[in-house]
Every structure is written in C-alpha cells, then in structure tokens.
Chains A and B, each alone.
Chain A
Amino acid sequence: MKKILSLIRKDYILFWHDKVAVGLTFIVPAALILLFGSIFGGSGNDASGIRLAFLNQSDTKIAKKIESTLDTTKTFQIIKTFTDDEGKEVPFDTTSIKDYIIKGSASSALIIPKDAYSDTSFGLKLKFYYNPKNELEMQIVQGLLQQTVMTQIPEIFNQSMMRRSEEYLGESKGLSFNRKLASVISEYFGVDTSKILQQGFYSTYNDSTEDDSSSDKGASNFFNNIVKLDKEQLVGKEVNNPGATRSVGGWAMMFLLFSITASATSLFDERNSGVTLRILSSPVSRVDILWSKYLYNISLGIIQLTVLFFAGYLFFDIDIFSNFGNLFLVIFCSSAAATAFGMVLAAFSKTTAQANGLGTFLILTMSAIGGAWFPTFFLPPFIQILSKFTIVYWSIEGFLQVLWNGAGLLELLPTLGVLLGIGFLVNTVSFWRFKKGDIF
C-alpha cells in the first residue's frame, strides 16, 4: 500500500509541476463553465440592448404607447435615426430603414405604419423587416418584441375590444354583451365582474389563471393574433442553405486557429531538435524564418478555409462562387489574422506544451464569444463587447457579409480592415517578442 501511495504522490507532484496540465484541468473548464453558465443560466435569458431600428408613422395613442414602451425597455436599443452621406443624423423613413437593415447596421426593424391601428380596425398591424443571418437570433427578437408589446399594453386591446363590441352592437347591446361575457369569465374563474369590466378581459383573466399554464398559453395565442407582424425578409432570400451558410465560417475559423497554432508552435520542435540551429548556420536569417513561417501559415489558412468552404458547397450547396472574389479576400484576411494569433502564441510561450495549452484555452474562448458556436446575441453585454476583439467575430462577420448579404468590396472594407489591423498589431507584438525571447 505504501508503494501505491508513493506512486500516487509521485503523479500529483508531476501533475502540479505541469502548469499546462493544471490549467487545462481547472482553469479552462472553469472559464468555459462560467461563460456557458452566464449564457444559458441567467444573463442569456435576460437579453438586453438588442439593436432594433424603429419607425413610428402612426400618431395613434397605441402607437405612442408602444414607442414609449420600447424607448424605456432595456431589451432593445431603439434606433430611430441614421447617418446620411453628409454625416447628419436623419430620422428613418420607409426606404432608409430598409437600407439600414440591408446594409447590416441592425438585424431587424419595427415599423408602426400609419394605418397600424384605427378605431375601425381590430388588432394592431406592425411591419417587421429583418435580416436572418442568424435565424435563432431573429426568432428570439420576434418573440421578445411581441412579449414587450403585449406585456406592456394589453389593457388597450381589451378596452378596444369592448369599445368595438359596443360600436357594432349598439351601446346598450354592446354593454350587455360585455357584461355577459364578464359574467361567464367570472363564473369560470371566480373573479369579480366589476373588476373585469373595469380592467379588461385579458388582465383579469391573466390574474385569475396564474397557475393554469395551458389557459395562459391560450390567452397568449389569442393576443398574438391581435398583434400581427407583417414580416419581410430583406436579406438572404436567395441563400441556398441558410443554416449551413451561417455556421460554416465559424467552425472553419475555429479549426483554422487550431491548425495554425500547431504549425506556429512547430518553431519549438525545430529549436529543440537543433534544426533551427542548422538552418541558421546556413545563409538564412531569423527574419527569413519568421517570414517563411508567417507566409506558410497564411497560405495554409487560405487552403484550409477554401477547402472547407468548398466542402460546404459540395455537402450543403452553399453558394461560394457568385461572390468568390470577395469571399477570397475575407479568407485571406482571416488567415492573416489567425496566423498572427498563432505567431504571438509561439512568441509568448516557452514550450510547445505551454503554447498548445494556452492556445486551446484561447481558441475555445474566442470561438465561444466570437460567435462560432452560438450567436453573440446570447452573451452578456460586456462579453459582447469583448467578442469584438476576437478574430473569430470579425471573420464570421466577413463570411456572412459575403455569403449572406452578397456584400461588395466597399461594404467589406471595414471588416477586412479590422482583420488586417488585428493581424498587423498582433504580428508587430510577436516580432518584437521573438527578438527578445529565446525561441531562436
């Protein structure tokens, strides 16, 4: 037994001295649990700050109520103006709000048309423009939008209904109809009839059936039919396979980062085997080695991403050819940025194991918060800010712009600029570090 205990002790000592193993055992999973926990546990359910373009063309009381409700809710960040070509902030009109969505400045827009609601109409008609480059996000946005509207202003609809019944049936018959309806609700749900008539059907009914989920669902469906969202998809209607088109870029980027990290960390293997020394004893300089490694990794990235997108074309009919030039530009810039990541990892690590451990942690984190696994929309606001500092986020943005929006070069320039900027900055840091480090 003593021998077994000694052997166990030996394993713990070795484990504790292997900082990478310790990190991968405790820190990486803890960080990912924290991340996923915050997404699927609490913060993710309380989505907030979703950008929603908004145009209210109606001057009715209900429209104003909806607008003020949206203005005050934390769920949405309401955008009512855009910056025109002269740099001025201009309120949306029907055309400009469409363009705003098409350009990708926001994923969805809500319009309350002039005829959204009138005293002679039943219910509320809203116009909803959307760009479903992330389908899941769109479904959640629509749900949240309806929830926001319905939970804030149900009594208006109730009063509207009672008023409409009085209009159609005449004041006395209408009042009688409403009283009878109220008494039926009172009989079944045990609520005071006067309260029903005072507050409206929905709120009273809802108060009295808090524990009855099926009835509550029925009520919700009822009101869902009252608010009609006239949806119009503005972007991506021609996309062959929306699901695959959305996801291929994120997954491809994650695997690219893994392969480039492995390639960059081969610098350690070459150093340890003495190959670097042999190469540097020939007319090859350190700068030559770094440039060759950098260019090799970029080319590897281009080949890998191209092959993966081609696989997407073969398996899922993703249209990669109609905008291939721009797709190639995003592939190139993404590869350059991913290569810079691999190089900086190698520059700041001391061993292959350290680089691989740190790389695994960073790649998984970047993929999670950058949108490779699920929409960044799910993430808590402060992580959504962080996600914009990741290569994965901007690469996915670029791929979606090309494959989903069919974006041209001018529209792509900001995204390409960010990717190249990240690549340049990170590379500068890694080259500086390589000079100071002992990898050579």
Chain B
Amino acid sequence: MISVNNITKRFPSATALDNVNLEINKKEFFGLLGPNGAGKSTLMNLLIGYLDSDSGEILIDGEKMTTGSPGLKKKIGLVPQSLALYEDISAKENLEIFGSFYDISKKDLRYVIAEKLKMVGLFERKGDNVKTFSGGMKRRLNLAASLLHDPSIILCDEPTVGIDPQSRNAIFDYLQALNEEGKTIIYTTHYMEEAERLCSRIAIIDSGRIISNGSIDELLRGLEYKQSISITKSPVTEKYIDSFKPFGTIIENPDKYELQPDDGLILSDFYKRVEETGINYTFINIRKPSLEALFLSLTGRSLRD
C-alpha cells in the first residue's frame, strides 16, 4: 500500500505539489491524470525517491520513501517518460547494465533478461543496437528494463508517448498482464482514453493539487449530466417512470422514454433512484460521459490546453 500524506514540493519557479494526499492499494491499476505541468512527474519523482518533499511523507508498505531509501527502491520499477536507454549498445547490454544495479546473480540476470525480452517481443533483436530500433521497440525495451528486478510496484510515467497504436496496445497488454499477476501499477498520462481503458481508479491532478480521486464510475457519477437518458419500456419502468420526473422532462415514445435532464442532474443521484425502484440497469441507456468532460467541468479547461 502506498500512502501519500500532505506532500508539498516547491521549486524556485513554482509550487509543483501542494498538500497532496493519496492512497493507492496493492494490486491496483491507479491512474494519475493531468495536463502537462500539473505535477504528475514531480509526484512520480517523489514516489521513486528521486526527490525529497518539502513537507509531508510517502509511505510504501509502511516505510518512508526518501532519496536515501535504497532498500525501498528495490520494490519499485520505473518506466520513465523518456527513452532512458543507451542507444549505441545492444538491447541485451542495456538490460545487463540496468539489471546490475540490483542484487541479481549473473546467472539469474541472464535468465530474466531473456524472459523480459521475450515478453516484449524483442528477443530476436537482443544483439542489435538500440539506435536501430523503431520508437515502439524502444518503448517496449524501456518497459522491460524496469521489470528486471521483479518490482511489486511499477510506476509508468507516460510510457506511450510518441508511438504507433499497435505498440501502444502491446504495452497496454503487458501492463494489464502484470497487473493481473499482482503488481501495483501507477500510470500517469494526459490521455483520458488510456486511463479509462487501463485504470480501476484515478486521481486528477491540476496545478499541483488533487482535484478528484476515485473509480472512474464514481468520478463520472459526480459529473453534472446534460445528455438525454433512454429508459426502455417495460412493466417495471412504466410503474416507476414518474419517480424520475424530478430529474427532468420525460418524453414518451412507442418503445421507450426519453429523459431530458434539467440543469444540475447528478448521475449518482439518478443511479440511487434506479436502485431504489429495483429497475434493472439493462433498461437504462446512458451515454457515458468522458473523463475529458469531467476534467473540463472540474477545471474549466480542456485537459490538453
């Protein structure tokens, strides 16, 4: 379990993190969403012990993470935003170098390197210089280099920047498989669709503050909903349709009702009413709002501004 408690980090030019609090559970796929400059990378740098905070603390399995926590760092694997690889040597040599920083015997390291190269589909290219790799291949090697010491927590700092959809999907698959194996994954991105696809829970960060935190459904339910909701006609829905009138205007069609929401409809209130009536969710058709819309409603600006 990772606890981020009242973390503040200031740089001469700006406050990067301002009293940030987070709890990330074991085996969770946790997303950290925010625009560029929101403080995501600073938080990652604190989580890996690259920086020390000005105040507050980060606890990983109850132990405090600082720049001087070599033992704790063994639990973490970082997939950096940049391609942190030596381009003029081979993929295998890169992994040998990065693996040598951990207590892994040479024999085990050889085995692990082969295993990880196979995992990311680069085993056949292990002897080739990294500079001959495509962007996607480099990204995959970047991921493999972070997994050599079998970390229980994997921090991915925008690991799919600048690659083709095929390689992006491959990386998503690797990460999901790792999460299913029991790894805790913290994933920063400013792509909402990535967070929606991968993360069971997310925190939205902006200007150094966590402005929203929870599962995607929880967050979206708190969003003011403005699109029409379709309710399929059935004996149960006909019986309780009037109980939805407080949420807006109901228009009856031959096979369904259309609820045109009033201003200020909160989805969580609507779902609560659905559960009270006992209507099955299969009769309710809501066009799910996007995280982009959530971010817009929370900050008043687009995520990619």
Contacts and interface: CB of A to CB of B under 8 A. Distances in A.
Given A277-B50, A277-B78, A282 B98 contact: yes
A283 B84 contact: no
Contacts of A285: 67-68, 70
A64 interface: no
Interface in B22-56: 45, 48-50
A278 B78 contact: yes
B61 to A, nearest CB: 16
Nearest to A286: B67
Nearest to A280: B50
A279 interface: yes
Given A280-B50, A281-B48, A285-B70, A273 B82 contact: yes
A284 interface: yes
B83 A284 contact: no
B70 A275 contact: no
Contacts of B48: 277, 280-281
Given A277-B50, A277-B78, A282 B84 contact: no
Interface residues of B, number: 27
Contacts of B248: none
A274 B81 contact: yes
A273 B84 contact: yes
A285 B145 CA distance: 18
B51 to A, nearest CB: 10
B73 A283 contact: yes
Contact of B85 (A275, A277, A280, A282): A275
Specify the main secondary structure of chain A where it touches its partner. Answer: helix
Interface in A231-246: none
A199 B66 CA distance: 91
Contacts of A284: 70, 101
Interface in B254-277: none
B88 to A, nearest CB: 11
B74 interface: yes
B101 A275 contact: no
B281 interface: no
A435 to B, nearest CB: 12
Contacts of A275: 84-86
B283 interface: no
B93 to A, nearest CB: 13
Contact of A274 (B67, B68, B70, B84): B84
Nearest to B76: A281
B278 interface: no
A281 B50 CA distance: 6
Contacts of B67: 285-286
Contacts of A274: 80-84
Given A279-B101, A282-B73, A273 B68 contact: no
A275 to B, nearest CB: 5
Contacts of B77: 281
Contacts of A279: 98, 101
A285 to B, nearest CB: 7
Contact of A281 (B49, B81, B83, B85): B49
Nearest to B50: A280
A274 B87 CA distance: 12
A216 B305 CA distance: 87
B102 interface: yes
B71 interface: yes
B101 A282 contact: yes
B84 to A, nearest CB: 4
A286 B67 CA distance: 9
Interface string A264-291: 0000000011110111111111100000
B163 to A, nearest CB: 15
Contact of B145 (A273, A277, A278, A280): A278
A282 B149 CA distance: 10
Nearest to A440: B50
A56 to B, nearest CB: 67
Nearest to A282: B101
Contacts of A273: 82-86
Given A281-B48, A281-B49, A282-B149, 5 more contacts: A273-B85, A279-B101, A281-B77, A283-B71, A286-B67
26 contacts: A272-B82, A273-B82, A273-B86, A274-B80, A274-B83, A274-B84, A275-B84, A277-B50, A277-B78, A277-B80, A277-B82, A278-B145, A280-B48, A280-B49, A280-B50, A281-B48, A281-B76, A281-B78, A282-B74, A282-B98, A282-B101, A283-B71, A283-B101, A284-B70, A285-B67, A285-B70
Pairs A-B, 9 closest by C-beta atoms: A274-B82, A274-B84, A283-B70, A281-B78, A282-B101, A278-B84, A281-B48, A274-B80, A275-B84
Interface of B: 45, 48-50, 67-68, 70-71, 73-74, 76-78, 80-86, 98, 101-102, 145-146, 149, 155
